[in-house]
Structure 1
Amino acid sequence: MKKSLISALAAAVLMTSAAAIATVMTPTRRIVDTLPKLDIEAAIPQRFGDWQIDTRSGGGVVNPQQTELLNQLYSQIVTRTYVNSEGYRIMLSIAYGEDQRDGNQLHYPEVCYPAQGFQVITNRKAILNTPLGDIPIKRLETHLSQQRYEPITYWTTVGTQALTGGTSKKLAEMKYGLRGEIPDGLLFRISSIDRDSAIAFAKQEQFIEQLLPTLAPDARARLAGL
Structure 2
Amino acid sequence: MLVCALGAQHLKPGRFLADQRSAAKIEDRLPREFAGWKIAPVAGVLVNPQQDKLINSLYAEVINRTYVSSSGQRLMLSISYGRNQSDNLQVHKPEVCYPAQGFQVQSLNQGELRIDDQVIPVRRLETTFGPARPEPVTYWTTVGDHAVASGTDKKLQEMRYAFKGFVADGLLFRMSSIDPDSKRAFETHSRFAADLYAALGPAERRQLFGSLD
Q: TM-score, normalised by structure 2?
A: 0.90
SS in 2 for 1:188: strand
SS in 1 for 2:71: coil
CA distance in 2: counterparts of 1:48 and 1:175, whole angstroms: 35
**Greater C-alpha Rg:** 1
1:33 and 2:19 are equivalent in the alignment? yes
CA contact (8 A) 1:64 1:116 kept: no
Q: 1:133 to 1:50 in 2, by over 3 A?
A: same
CA distance in 1: counterparts of 2:26 and 2:156, whole angstroms: 25
CA contact (8 A) 1:149 1:194 kept: yes
CA distance in 1: counterparts of 2:80 and 2:200, whole angstroms: 17
CA contact (8 A) 1:61 1:80 kept: no
Counterpart of 1:128 in structure 2 is 113
User: Which blocks of at least 5 consecutive residues in structure 1 are unaligned?
Assistant: 1-13
User: Which blocks of at least 5 consecutive residues in structure 2 are unaligned?
Assistant: none
The match for 2:128 among 137, 143, 154 is: 143
1:76 and 2:55 are equivalent in the alignment? no
The offset of 1:17, in angstroms, is 4.8
Counterpart of 2:197 in structure 1 is 212
The match for 1:48 among 14, 25, 34 is: 34
Give, as a single letter, the amino acid of the residue that structure 2 aligns with 1:168: D
Give, as a single letter, the amino acid of the residue that structure 2 aligns with 1:46: R
Task: Indicate the RMSD between aligned Cα atoms, in angstroms.
Answer: 2.0
Q: TM-score, normalised by structure 1?
A: 0.85
Q: 1:70 to 1:174 in 2, by over 3 A?
A: same
The match for 2:73 among 55, 74, 88 is: 88
Tell which deviates more after alignment, 211-220 or 168-177.
Answer: 168-177
SS in 1 for 2:6: helix
Q: Deviations over 1:76-123 (max 9, x none)?
A: 111000111222110000000111122211111111111112121211
SS in 2 for 1:205: helix
SS in 2 for 1:147: coil
The match for 1:168 among 143, 149, 153 is: 153
CA contact (8 A) 1:61 1:91 kept: no
The match for 2:186 among 201, 215, 222 is: 201
The offset of 1:165, in angstroms, is 4.2
Counterpart of 2:98 in structure 1 is 113
CA distance in 2: counterparts of 1:106 and 1:44, whole angstroms: 20
Counterpart of 1:11 in structure 2 is none
CA contact (8 A) 1:49 1:210 kept: yes
Q: Deviations over 1:16-45 (max 9, x none)?
A: 455434423322111122233352112211
Using the aligned pairs only, state the percent identity: 46
